[in-house]
Structure 1
Amino acid sequence: LLSWSWVGCFWVERTPVHEAAQRGESLQLQQLIESGACVNQVTVDSITPLHAASLQGQARCVQLLLAAGAQVDARNIDGSTPLCDACASGSIECVKLLLSYGAKVNPPLYTASPLHEACMSGSSECVRLLIDVGANLEAHDCHFGTPLHVACAREHLDCVKVLLNAGANVNAAKLHETALHHAAKVKNVDLIEMLIEFGGNIYARDNRGKKPSDYAWSSSAPAKCLEYYEKTPLTLSQLCRVSLRKATGVRGLEKIAKLNIPPRLIDYLSYN
């Protein structure tokens, strides 16, 4: 580690505040804060104590730091905010604390958003909360694509279902690669079927000109599943469901629940 230290809460090595925050030593952290230690000191890679606590899901330390004036939207060298790190840890408690102190759910980042990180960690609870407070479902990362791409690549089906039910674009593309291409690559039949039920285009071609079925091994379960859907048209009821869900747009479940139609139809449209 570099050994230089600047005055005024600037570049330093990891400080005792960083260490206490990361380890969840809340009593020691409180004593450091009371003795005047700076809560916004950053390491050479721009990590603040709040980043360190958030990444480890140390909710009590997060609370102490925020109450002491820690910058809630500070960015590290990768551009990540403490909210991104809390989502990466899957700590719903830390996420709630950061949001309560005004953390931006859609920070202007060129890297993965908090929603991407929640999908990467597989925390459907964090995904649901972020969507409820206005997370951009189509936030695009140059490496990962949309949050749906991430959830599919990591095979987090619960997160995929939450995203799709909230109105995420099932056919969003990253270099023309859709979530269904990811599902075929990870050979997950349940994921493939879920995406198709929500209107996934089995004929979509990526930048190599390949359909999702081109990534499935011949005679494997995913290949047979995709082959079935390529040869068998969706039912009229399924086509109507997809069309209506597309028409209701983002957060369409709220609108569907208010429709003056039988409960069974609402359940069907809600994919229950």
Structure 2
Amino acid sequence: MSSDGCGKEDLQEDIRMDSGIESYISIVTSEEPREPTSDSIGPRDKFSTGEERLDSAYTSSSITVESLSDIVEGCTISSAEDVQAKMPELSKQENLLTTITEDGDTLLHLAIIHEDIFISQELIQLFPKEALDIQNNLYQSPLHLATYLNLKHVVTMLMKKGASLELQDQDGNTPLHVACQHGQLECVTEMTRDLPPSSLAPVLQTQNWRGLTCLHLSALNKQHHIMKLLMKKKADLNIQEGTAGKTALHLAVELHDMTSVKLLLKEGANVDAPMFNGCTPLHLAVGRQDAQIADLLCQFGADKMLRNMEDETALDLADGNNDILALFPFDDIQILGKSVKSF
């Protein structure tokens, strides 16, 4: 059987992020960033990729982190009065609003990374729409970062201001992918609330660099409420991921996730959808010795005689499991294309 065959455990998605938080700290406090230690857990740990940063798609400004610190000198991140006093000065220098650090972060990126909702909202109001979609060196937009950190109110403001939902980060994830993976139902709701179907459909069909759509990620992470919401938004239930051709139903079967399997089948997912190697969800259920899910698939009309590229039917994968063999009545067995019953 092929390496992508019916018995292979599914891949699990991991998200890598970067913060630029040290740059933010140096702007606000004018202190040198501290090297992370093995026993410290902070924003850098939370967003670290462990890899060399990618080049940004944007040209770095000649204004350095050090010169930016002069702008906010004496302004503490938690002081609303100080920030409000400083905002008119920033608004007169629009070039500073779109200035990026050596990590590709704008002031808005940095405010979001620091999880300061007040400053983030003030900057969103000041930023022109185009600047809201600037991506840092890891191709993360402010909306990506607000989603990673589950900052619902910032996500809402960004969406109302017209931030793009289609931008992909270095892993190919849109902000909606991120929310679906991490089970952030409120963020998913805010991102999809006011988008017309014509605008949302391309995002729901977008695959990350692992070939996974938002529905695939929701299924992989057993995010049932998000799956229901995506279905209401007309997500394609039968779209195949890009590596092995699995649908969300295949993924749910592999995870032995009865709840997702029931949900997908009741909403009309193709019970006989083939992977690139011809395996159907029933092949996977039988190959994993999951009699309960195999029985449910049969109740929804799964074709027991379909063959994969190894010329195997689901019955061929039963491996002597009596509970599964009981799902295949004698008169369903065929020899040379003829039912045994007819002999």
Same-fold call, TM > 0.5? yes
Cα distance change of structure 1 residues 132 and 10 upon mapping to structure 2, 3 Å threshold? farther
Please state if 1:104 is matched with 2:200.
Answer: yes
Q: CA deviation at 1:227?
A: 0.5
Please state if 1:186 is matched with 2:239.
Answer: no
Q: CA deviation at 1:192?
A: 1.6
TM-score by length of 2: 0.58
**In 2, distance between residues paired with 1:30 and 1:6?**
25
Cα distance change of structure 1 residues 3 and 82 upon mapping to structure 2, 3 Å threshold? closer
1:27-42 counterparts in 2 under 5 A? 27-34=118-125, 36=127, 38-42=131-135
Q: CA deviation at 1:117?
A: 1.8
1:203-242 counterparts in 2 under 5 A? 203-218=305-320, 223-231=321-329
Q: CA deviation at 1:229?
A: 1.1
1:56-67 counterparts in 2 under 5 A? 56-67=149-160
Mean Cα displacement is larger for which, 164-173 or 132-141?
A: 132-141
TM-score by length of 1: 0.71
Q: CA deviation at 1:204?
A: 2.3
Please state whether the residue corresponding to 1:183 is helix, strand or coil: helix
Amino acid at match of 1:200: A
**In 2, distance between residues paired with 1:81 and 1:186?**
32
**In 2, distance between residues paired with 1:63 and 1:9?**
24
Cα distance change of structure 1 residues 155 and 3 upon mapping to structure 2, 3 Å threshold? same
Amino acid at match of 2:295: E
Cα distance change of structure 1 residues 46 and 55 upon mapping to structure 2, 3 Å threshold? same
Please state if 1:87 is matched with 2:188.
Answer: no
Q: CA deviation at 1:233?
A: 6.7
Please state whether the residue corresponding to 1:42 is helix, strand or coil: coil
Aligned to 1:122: 222
* Unmatched tracts of structure 2, length 5 or more: 1-52, 61-97, 333-343
Amino acid at match of 1:162: L
Identity of aligned residues (%): 23
Highest Rg: 1 or 2? 2
Aligned to 1:155: 256
Amino acid at match of 1:192: A
Mean Cα displacement is larger for which, 171-180 or 106-115?
A: 106-115
Deviation by residue 1:231-264 (Cα, 9 ceiling, x = unmatched): 2679xxxxxxxxxxxxxxxxxxxxxxxxxxxxxx
Cα distance change of structure 1 residues 24 and 161 upon mapping to structure 2, 3 Å threshold? farther
Cα distance change of structure 1 residues 216 and 29 upon mapping to structure 2, 3 Å threshold? farther
* Unmatched tracts of structure 1, length 5 or more: 235-272
Aligned to 1:13: 103
Please state whether the residue corresponding to 1:39 is helix, strand or coil: helix
Q: CA deviation at 1:183?
A: 1.8
Please state whether the residue corresponding to 1:51 is helix, strand or coil: helix
Confirm or deny: 8 A CA contact 1:151 1:159 kept in the other structure. Answer: yes
1:26 pairs with one of 93, 97, 117: 117
Q: CA deviation at 1:56?
A: 4.5
Cα distance change of structure 1 residues 35 and 161 upon mapping to structure 2, 3 Å threshold? same
Please state whether the residue corresponding to 1:230 is helix, strand or coil: coil
Q: CA deviation at 1:85?
A: 2.0
**In 2, distance between residues paired with 1:78 and 1:21?**
20
Aligned to 2:304: 202
Deviation by residue 1:194-232 (Cα, 9 ceiling, x = unmatched): 2111112233222122233444454xxxx2222101126
Q: Which has the higher helix share?
A: 1
**In 2, distance between residues paired with 1:183 and 1:28?**
51
Q: CA deviation at 1:62?
A: 1.3
Tell me the number of residue pairs that the alignment of Structure 1 and Structure 2 aligns: 230
Aligned to 1:257: none
**In 2, distance between residues paired with 1:33 and 1:98?**
16
